[in-house]
Amino acid sequence: MLSAQPCCPALTERELTVEEAELTAAMFKALGDPVRLRLFSKVASHPDSEACVCDIANVGVSQPTVSHHLKKLKEAGLLLSERRGTWVYYRVEPSVLAAMGHLLTPTQAPAKAAC
């Protein structure tokens, strides 16, 4: 599993290292699938900050496919899970949204383009 710790500077701060680019690409690649993005969104927006797989599985694909996509999100370091009885509960890895937001936040106001 990849770590979602805020590893990377804002894209406008400096060039990413190979390792930073690989980590970041894995996170965004996992979210590049519409079903995965919907599942991630369902977990992230759930009122309790975690969601039972039974509450988020309705994304238009079969249960085995949901499980596959959730596994990919976990492998990318985006989700954490915990089994409770027969159900699995998912929550967003605590630092992932901050890390992704930081990466995309400009460090300074962009320069105005000359006409």
**pLDDT, tens digit, 9 for 90 and up, residues 91-103:** 998 888 877 777 7
| Residues facing residue 79 across a β-bridge | 92
- Largest separation between any pair of C-alpha atoms in the chain: 64
Is the domain covering 18-104 a CATH 3.40.50.11400 domain?
no
Report the amino acid identity of residue 18: V
Say what the pTM is: 0.78
Q: How many CA atoms, within 13 angstroms, populate the side-chain half-sphere of residue 38? A: 13
C-alpha span between 37 and 60 (Å, rounded)? 13
The predicted structure's pLDDT at residue 1: 43
The predicted structure's pLDDT at residue 108: 66
Beta-strand (E) ranges in 1-115?
51-52, 79-84, 87-92
Going by the DSSP 8-state scheme, the letter that residue 113 receives in this structure is P
Sheet containing 51-52: order of strands: 51-52, 87-92, 79-84
Query: Domain residues of the chain, as ranges?
Result: 18-104
Percent of the chain with pLDDT over 90: 48
C-alpha span between 34 and 23 (Å, rounded)? 20
Digitized pLDDT (tens) for each residue of the chain, 115 residues in all: 444 445 667 777 888 889 888 888 888 999 999 999 999 999 999 998 899 998 898 899 998 999 999 999 999 999 999 999 999 999 998 888 877 777 777 776 555 656 5
- What are the tens digits of pLDDT across the range 27-47? 899 999 999 999 999 999 999
